[in-house]
Each structure stands twice: as structure tokens, then as C-alpha cells.
Amino acid sequence: MTKTLRKILHVEDEADIREITKLALEAVGGFVVESCASGQDALKIAPVFQPDLMLLDVMMPGMDGPATLKAMNKLSEFDDLPVIFMTAKIQSSEISDYDEMGAAGVITKPFDPMTLSDQIHEIWQSSVGQSVC
């Protein structure tokens, strides 16, 4: 059965970024977005929301992005959930670190709200290779 990208779980501690991201992905990409302020919240919400993909901030207080990914992968129903990290402009060596963690891709901050959906679409296509809603 073809896997379609429709539901995105967004994990980000900064309220402005959560709001812009949700607006951008819903209005431009037509996605259904659930926003979480922390990794801990994401672990509670994911089983209920059943995301197709997780958009995950790297630097968060307490449980950071990589720790959240690790914890999410321990949940059997999400051990292959595609994850895109969001982080400040980084070196190419750090990108390979995120690859090794199992990320499908990395989106750098600051991002353009108008093209964020396209960036996610591209990563989904190349990583998961399935269609986007």
C-alpha cells in the first residue's frame, strides 16, 4: 500500500516557530500538523496522533532532538518513523552525524515559511520514496 505523507508531528520548544511552522505546513502544504513543545510531549502525543513524519528541533532544553528520536525509536510502532531535524546553519560533518542517527533529512533555520512544505516534500520523496497528500 502506498504510504502518503499527511500528518506531521512538529516538536519545537519556541512558540513562534511552532506557530509559523503549523501555519505554513497547513496553509501551503495541506498537511495536518500537531505541535509539541518538548520531546516528552511528543512521546505522549505520537501514539494518539499517529504521524507519518516527525519534524524535530535539535536544540531543546531537557530532552533534545537526538534524545527524542532515540526514545521515539524505542516505541515499536515508531521505530521507522521518518524524522527531519531542524537546526541552525550547520557544517556538512554535522549533517552526516544526523544521517547516522537515522534522520531522513535536515532543514536549516531560519527557514522560509513559503517553501518549507516543498523542502519536506523533497526529503519525503527522496527518503521514503512515496507520495505526498
Describe the crossing of helices 92-101 and 65-74 by its angle, rounded to 10 degrees.
20
Q: What span, in angstroms and rounded, lies between the C-alpha atoms of 117 and 60? A: 22
Q: Which three cell numbers stand for residue 95?
A: 549533517
- Which CB sits closer to another protein, 52 or 57? 57
Query: Shortest distance, CB of residue 70 to another protein, whole angstroms?
Result: 22
Shortest CB 62 distance to another protein, Å: 12
- Between 24 and 53, name the residue whose CB sits nearer to another protein: 24
Q: Which of 129, 124, 126, 127 is nearest to 7 (CA)?
A: 124
Least distance from another protein to the Cβ atom of residue 15, Å: 9
Between 29 and 78, CB nearer to another protein: 29
Q: Site residues (CB under 8 A) for another protein? A: 14, 16-17, 19-20, 23-24, 27-28, 30, 57, 59, 61, 88, 109-111, 113-114, 133
User: Residues 28, 114: contact at Cβ < 8 Å?
Assistant: yes
